[in-house]
Homo-oligomer: A and B are copies of this chain.
Amino acid sequence: MPVLTLAELQARLGGTLSGDASVLIRGVASLEQAGADRIGFLVNAKKYLPQARASRAGALIVPESLEDALPQPCLRVPNPHAAFAQAAALLHPEPELPSGIDAGAIVADAAEIHRDARIGPGVVIGAGARIGARSVLHAACVIGPGAQIGEDCLLHPRVTVQHGCVIGNRVILHPGCVIGGDGFGLAWESDSEGGHWSKVPQVGRTILEDDVEIGANTSIDRGALDDTVIEQGAKLDNLIQIAHNCRVGRHTAIAACVGIAGSTRIGAYCQIGGAAMIIGHLNICDRVTVSAGTFVAKDIREPGVYTSVQPLMKHEDWKHNAAHLRHLDALVKRVKSLEAKLKEN
């Protein structure tokens, strides 16, 4: 693993330095766990200043606005969280594949693999697929015929990109995700035995624009006719379902276990909380926050925070309270009737 002095870190991250610039840093750590060769960071000084003071970290990344002096050598920067992320990337490089195509990969003759791409063991690449410069495909990824992977992409093991899909530059795909599986397109057909579902072929593609990240075991269906599109810089967590024809806007972040049904459009700069479920054919405008666990069944036309969850109760309390939900309409009528009677009186 790399070792850098604080001065060397400053040379890469910018900022102004106080304290011993020669301290050796071997990694990042939390304020609590950091030892003398680790660098920590402070964002919310109001809350965490005491912890920062007490930390045994060899150095700290702190806000440039911080007025307090700290016992540790400090790097003052405008955005400590982002600078810390950069430090982590420098100090903890991920294991790399050797350059070139592993002998255990199976690449169709008609695929175009950039000479600076790295293709791991067990990877399968179909005819007409294109892999851009410096992109890394880890073990057992499957890239379908005609799919395109841009430059500087990172595909973790066991990713599937189905035929014809288009992946931009600097895209990160985590293990088990499925890009461009068929949408759930069915047509009902009558028959002599009561009818059955016929498959509607899904002829659109999935397009992931630049700087998109897709989590483990997430599934993003190809379009039925037009394309499913995840716009630039959108970040999706694990175990998410994006159905056919959806569009997710730029720099929108979606937490784990979310489901978005077909043809729904999510705006830019949205944040969708974990396990939120959004039905199909909706429009969610820019800068909407949907709370975790929330069910969205209608358009959202104004930025803001939206919620629809039941509060937690002890089971015994819940039994008493929830039963009344079935009779809420009757309760409202009873109150209305009381109001009328009281008016008469």
Contact = CB atoms under 8 A, between A and B. Distances in A.
Given A85-B198, A145-B95, A197-B235, A317 B310 contact: no
Nearest to A337: B339
28 contacts: A28-B203, A79-B190, A81-B187, A82-B198, A85-B187, A88-B201, A89-B199, A89-B201, A102-B106, A104-B106, A106-B122, A158-B160, A176-B178, A182-B215, A197-B235, A197-B253, A216-B219, A217-B217, A241-B274, A261-B292, A297-B309, A304-B315, A305-B314, A307-B312, A311-B322, A320-B328, A324-B331, A331-B335
Interface in A78-108: 79, 81-82, 84-86, 88-89, 92, 94-95, 102, 104, 106
Given A279-B274, A308-B310, A144 B219 contact: no
A175 interface: yes
Interface string A227-244: 000000101011101010
Contact of A293 (B146, B274, B295, B314): B295
Given A121-B124, A156-B181, A160-B176, A332 B324 contact: yes
A11 interface: no
B195 A251 contact: yes
Nearest to A121: B106
Interface string A124-163: 1011000000000011101011100000000011101011
A255 interface: yes
B309 A308 contact: yes
* Secondary structure of the A contact surface, majority rule: loop
A146 B96 CA distance: 12
A277 B277 contact: no
Contacts of A291: 315
A3 interface: no
B304 A314 contact: yes
Contact of A298 (B140, B307, B312): B312
